A and B are shown apart, each in its own frame.
Chain A
Amino acid sequence: EPEVTQTPSHQVTQMGQEVILRCVPISNHLYFYWYRQILGQKVEFLVSFYNNEISEKSEIFDDQFSVERPDGSNFTLKIRSTKLEDSAMYFCASSEREGGYGYTFGSGTRLTVV
Chain B
Amino acid sequence: AQTVTQSQPEMSVQEAETVTLSCTYDTSESNYYLFWYKQPPSRQMILVIRQEAYKQQNATENRFSVNFQKAAKSFSLKISDSQLGDTAMYFCAFMGSSNTGKLIFGQGTTLQVKP
Contact = CB atoms under 8 A, between A and B. Distances in A.
Secondary structure at the A interface, as helix, strand, loop or mixed, is strand
Given A43-B45, A107-B42, A102 B102 contact: no
B108 A33 contact: no
Nearest to B35: A102
A2 interface: no
A100 B100 contact: no
A105 B101 contact: no
Secondary structure at the B interface, as helix, strand, loop or mixed, is loop
Contacts of B98: 56
A44 interface: yes
Contacts of B75: none
Contact of A91 (B45, B100, B101, B104): B45
B61 to A, nearest CB: 12
A107 B45 CA distance: 7
B43 A42 contact: no
Interface string A89-110: 1010101001111111101101
Given A91-B45, A100-B35, 10 more contacts: A33-B102, A43-B45, A43-B103, A93-B45, A100-B95, A105-B46, A107-B43, A107-B44, A108-B43, A108-B45
Interface of B: 32-33, 35, 37, 42-47, 50, 52, 91, 93, 95, 97-108
10 contacts: A42-B91, A42-B105, A42-B106, A42-B108, A55-B100, A102-B50, A103-B47, A103-B103, A107-B42, A107-B43
